[in-house]
Each structure stands twice: as structure tokens, then as C-alpha cells.
Amino acid sequence: MASFRSVSPERAGRAGGPDVLDKKRVAGGFRPIPTRGAMKSRKRREKVANVLCFLLLIFFSVICIFPIWWIFRSSLMNNAELFLWPPRFIPKHWLFSNYARTLKFFPFWTYLKNTMTIIVPSVLAGTITATMVGYAFARLRFRGKHFFFTLCIGSMFLPTMVTLIPLYIMWTRFFHLSNSYLPLILPYFCGGGAFNIFLIRQFICTIPRELDEAATIDGAGYFRILVSIIVPAIKSAMIVVALLLFTTMWNDLLQQIIYINTSEKFTIAIGLSQFKGSLKSDWSAIMCATCMSFLPGILFYLMGQKYFVEGIVMTGMKN
């Protein structure tokens, strides 16, 4: 890292070398400032760079958001307008009636209800059990902790695809659960996946131990500490886990297809995949259905956005 060729001895001497520099001294004006003019031009350069970056960001975010806009504007067009060439970027008439039309043969509310029947218990169970396990890993001492922690981390690298068939056999042959939501829900009662356990553990590790110890002195047991000290402190992490579980389940088309067979039990994901096959080229209806399915995710995200970003940051950092 310290491989710059242009270190003149006098400069290095003046600054005391990079090793002895610390934040305080830099902030206290210890940094050698060459001349006022050079400083000014530098500041100007930085300003120009910032403006350029801002413009670039606007450009990229337009690119990023444009597919969503395109899907939305397509949902408001009739099929004639949809197949115009060159295409219109903004629909001439905003046909919100398309949505009513689509709802007639795309039972969105049933699908949404079914999806929620799977998601709500799984998310709750996953979040709670992940917190329990994370707490044990972060704070408690017990036999085999290291071993199980290694197993747990190891299972992060084990794709769900690999265990799919044995689990399918287990649920359908041993427990006779076919066309049931239970095989989709029950696994989330087991900690909600190694990644989420790990995330919670990392969060708990950042809470000062003194808090626990103070509570212990006050006579609190370990469960009491978990409920009244740890949980309030890691609320944001728990919300993140809930949101991550939500998106995981939301996206898990394969398992839903495997375990659900009858159309009255379809989830949004299966419903959409069937819908496309049955409609072929009624693109405006397909786009309506797509937009409707976007909504719950976006709402959930907006509700927990602050925590979401914070928590993902944590997982990336504490590795």
C-alpha cells in the first residue's frame, strides 16, 4: 500500500510519516497544506468531480428505474398501442381499467392471500428462532458450540438445490404432506437459515456485554436478558431478517411449484407463471399482473428501508 514513489524526504519528515498520523492530529491542522492557491484549485476540481458524479448517478438511476417504468406504462396501454413502432414512452390514455380487466382472470387477491398464508408464519417463526439461535451463539457458553457454529456456517455454502430431493421425499413420503403449505413453512421454524442466524449473532456481538452483566447482577436469567435487553437492542437486525426471509420466500418459485399442485392454492409466483402461459400475447394484462405483484414487495421495502440498509451493511462488514 505504501508504495508511492514520490515521497520526498522533507515532506515525509514534516508529516511525521503516514504511520504516526492519526485522526485527531489531522483534524487539528497538522496536515501540511502546500499553498492557498493549490488548495483552491483542488477544491474546485473536487467540486467538478462531484457534479460529474451526480450527473452520472442520475443517468444510471434512470437506466435502473427505466425497466420498471416501461413495465408500468405497458400495463396502462391497450394492446394496439403496445405494438406501435416506434413505441411510445408515455401512454396516450392511462387505462387503469386494464387492472380491473386483468383481475377478472388473474385472481390476484386469492394468490396474495395464499402467499401471505405461507409468508407470515414463516417470517415470524424464522425471525424468532434465528434470534434464539443467534443469542446462544453470541452470548452463551455450552458444549459443542464451536462445532455447531462451524456446521452452521458450513451450511451457508450448501445450496437449497442440493437438499431439495431428500426433503421432498421426507415431506411427501414420511409426513404425507402433498399439496400442502407446511413443507414450505416448517423449515423456517428451524432458525430461518444459517445466513440469518449469522446476521443476528453478529449484531448481538456488537452489544456491550456489560449490559448483560448488569442485568445478571439485577437477578435476570438468560431468557430474561434475551427478551428485555438483547431483543430491543437488535430490533433493526430482526426487521432485516424478516425482510430477507420475506424476499427469499417471495422468490422461491421452484419449491412452491414442487409442493403446491392445485390452482386454488397457487401463490403469486406460480399464478404469474401459469398466467403467462395461458395468455401468450395479451401483454398489457401480463404487465398489469406483473405490476400488481411488484407492489407488496415495494411496500414492505419502503416500510423497513432504513433498517434494511443498516442490517445488510452489518452482514457485509463483520465477516
Partner 1 sequence: MVKKPGQRTGRRLMSSESRTAHLCMIPAYVGLVVLTYVPLLAVFGLSLFKWEGVGTPTWVGAANYVRLFTRDPYFIDSVKATVLYALLSVFGSMIWSMVIALLLNRRIPARGFFRAIFYLPYVLPAMAVYLGWSWLYESNFGLFNYILEQFGIKKIMFLGSSSAVLPSLALIAVWLSGNLIVIFLAGLQNVPRVYHEAADIDGANSWQRFWHVTVPCMTPIIFYNILMSLITNLQVVTPALALTNGGPGNSSCFMSYLMYLYAFRNGKLSYACAISFTFFLIIAVFTGILFATSKSWTYYEGGPN
* Interaction residues for partner 1, span 12-31 (CB under 8 A): 12, 15, 18, 21-23, 26, 31
List the one residue from 106, 181, 203, 300 that touches partner 1 (CB under 8 A).
300
Candidates 202, 182, 232; CA nearest to 130 is 202
* 233 membership: H or E segment, kind and range: helix 231-233
Residue 147 or 232 with smaller CB distance to partner 1: 147
Q: Does 4 bind partner 1 (CB under 8 A)?
A: yes
Q: How far is the CB of 37 from partner 1 (least distance, A)?
A: 17
**In the range 98-127, which residues lie near partner 1 by CB under 8 A?**
none
Q: How far is the CB of 46 from partner 1 (least distance, A)?
A: 9
Q: Does 11 bind partner 1 (CB under 8 A)?
A: yes
Q: How far apart are CA 198 and CA 204, in angstroms?
A: 10
List the one residue from 38, 43, 83, 206 that touches partner 1 (CB under 8 A).
83
Q: How far apart are CA 235 and CA 203, in angstroms?
A: 10
**In the range 226-285, which residues lie near partner 1 by CB under 8 A?**
226, 243, 247, 250-251, 253-254, 257-258, 268-269, 272-273, 276, 283
Span from 91-99, 100-108, 218-226, 230-238 in contact with partner 1 (CB under 8 A): 218-226
List the one residue from 29, 67, 219, 232 that touches partner 1 (CB under 8 A).
67
Which grid cell is 149?
A: 457454529
Residues 6+ positions from 127 with CB-CB distance below 8 Å: 192, 196, 238, 241, 242, 245
List the one residue from 191, 203, 237, 241 that touches partner 1 (CB under 8 A).
191
CA distances from 301 to 46, 188, 290 (A): 34, 21, 17
**In the range 142-161, which residues lie near partner 1 by CB under 8 A?**
142-143, 145-146, 148-149, 151-152, 155, 157-161
Q: How far apart are CA 210 and CA 191, in angstroms?
A: 27
List the one residue from 38, 205, 211, 214 that touches partner 1 (CB under 8 A).
205
Which grid cell is 130?
A: 434465528
Q: Does 60 bind partner 1 (CB under 8 A)?
A: yes
DSSP secondary structure code for residue 88 in this structure: P
Residues 6+ positions from 263 with CB-CB distance below 8 Å: 274
